Amino acid sequence: MSDKVDFIIDGEEVSANPDQTILIAAEEAGIYIPRLCAMKDLVPFGACRVCTVLVNGRPQAACTQPVASGIIVENSSDKILKIRRTIIEMLFVEGNHYCMFCEKSGNCELQALAYRLGISAPDLPYLFPDRKVDATHPDILIDHNRCILCGRCVRASRDLDGKNVFQFVGRGLGKEVQVNSSAKLAATDIDVTDKAVGVCPVGALLPKRVGYRIPIGERLFDHNPIGHEIETNIHNSSVKE
């Protein structure tokens, strides 16, 4: 008796382990599902909803939804793509993302997803919130203008670094990431070598004195779209077999 679970993604049959999420099972099958809050080695969070898929016609977060035998998953239908475009547009207009000036440009996952989804400029009105930059730490800065509340830094600091430097405070439009100090980032025990510093998908949490060192043309998404590595690795494995 097989211990695998079989289900369908966009008409393709996928076999997965029963303890896997849809996101992980799809990735192992060479199917890319866009995501921002999800990341290897971090506990699934389901915050950004960019990985939304339709499971038997109902929207679910692929990063937290477990696989089940016989389910029908839509990952690239027009309805799903419209949902994802709206989510990405909302993330842009709810913050202050100036891509042409940002040192994360070309390496930014939010920017790369916008390109992959065909978004050149949001149709929604910009909110232009008044947010601050904390550059008090000698080696690290936090630019709240670009924070998308994905929770990667929160989970990485807690689960990988064992420090709990970051946490969410507030609710609704007032929700933000803050540090575990009544002062500033400089008063925490964060170090530039911490895992939390390198997990931010955008330009909100950055090490100092390294910006713009990678020239245009050599940045992560300059030549290939985000998700390309998942689709290409599976294809190359199949060719070798």
Given a cut of 90, whether residue 8 has pLDDT beyond it is: yes
Which residues, other chains included, contact 2 with Cβ-Cβ below 8 Å and sequence gap of 6+?
Answer: none
pLDDT tens readout for residues 127-178: 999 999 999 999 999 999 999 999 999 999 999 999 999 999 999 888 999 9
Which strands, in side-by-side order, build the sheet including 133-134? 133-134, 140-143, 205-207
Tokens 């970051």: give the residue. 166
DSSP assignment string, the chain: ----EEEEETTEEEEE-TT-BHHHHHHHTT-----SS--TTS-----S-TTEEEETTEEEETTTPBP-TT-EEESSSHHHHHHHHHHHHHHHHTTT--TTT-TTTTT-HHHHHHHHTT-SS-SSPP------EE--SSSEEEEGGG-----HHHHIIIIISS---EEEES-GGG-EEEESSSS-GGGS---TTSGGGG--SSSSEEETT-TT-SPTTSSTTSSS-TTHHHHHHHHHHHHH-
Q: What six digits make up the tokens of 113?
A: 């997803």
Q: What six digits make up the tokens of 111?
A: 């920017």
pLDDT at 193: 98
Are 3 and 17 in contact, with CB atoms under 8 Å apart?
yes
Question: What mean pLDDT value characterizes the chain?
Answer: 93
At residue 241 the predicted structure's pLDDT band, cuts being 50, 70 and 90, is: very low
Are 85 and 124 in contact, with CB atoms under 8 Å apart?
no
At residue 234 the predicted structure's pLDDT band, cuts being 50, 70 and 90, is: low
Taking each helix axis from N to C end, the angle separating 78-93 and 109-116, rounded to the nearest 10 degrees, works out to: 140
The mean per-residue pLDDT over the stretch 92-106 comes to: 95
Q: What is the largest CA-CA distance in the chain?
A: 59
Which residues, other chains included, contact 168 with Cβ-Cβ below 8 Å and sequence gap of 6+?
Answer: 149, 151, 154, 175, 176, 177, 178
- pTM for the full model? 0.93
Domains present along the chain, CATH in parentheses: 5-76 (3.10.20.740), 103-207 (3.30.70.20)
